[in-house]
Amino acid sequence: MKSFVSFAILAAVLVGLTGCPASLNSILLTNLSDDIVVNVFLSPSSSDDWGVDQLPGYIYPGDSFLLHSIPNGVYDLLIIAADGSYWEKYGISLYGGEQRSFDLLNYKNNGVNVLEEMAGSQVSSQPFNVPAAGDKEGFDPGLKNQQ
């Protein structure tokens, strides 16, 4: 019995150290604009690459999209609409099972669509994929160094 209890305690400690699913984070995007969203890029702020498109389809006006299973860290977000307009947000901190919500709005600030943090509702979801190829520096719009 003692070895079973010791094993259970060891397993609980290992799960805590490796990060259980409850500590993963998510980002909810709600499209309040008139545009159809065609791309969503999320990558660690320390990366020069945008990585792969995280959106498996489209986010139509009035719809929401949940990007889930995001490890703890600080991220940059780039969202592109079908007409080429975009939303961007740098330095999004995600820790401890947090869900952040952003509304994609119609109006612009200095030529960039406004992405406002607030509450929304879930419609579809996609797990976060670790960024691969896709140079942030060479991606226009939304070059990382043009903040």
Q: Which two tokens stand for residue 72?
A: 């703890």
What's the whole-number mean pLDDT along residues 128-144?
A: 42
What does residue 35 show for φ and ψ, rounded to 5 degrees? -95, 155
Give me the helices (H) in 1-147, please.
2-18
pLDDT of 3 > 50? The answer is no
Give the pLDDT confidence score for residue 12 in this predicted structure.
46
pLDDT digits (tens, 9 = 90+) for 92-132: 999 999 899 988 887 666 555 666 776 443 333 444 454 44
Nearest of 42, 40, 70 to residue 56 by alpha carbon: 40
Provide the percentage of residues in the chain whose pLDDT is more than 70.
Answer: 59
Query: What is the set of domains in the chain, with CATH numbers?
Result: 22-146 (2.60.40.2890)
Instruction: Confirm whether pTM is higher than 0.85.
Output: no
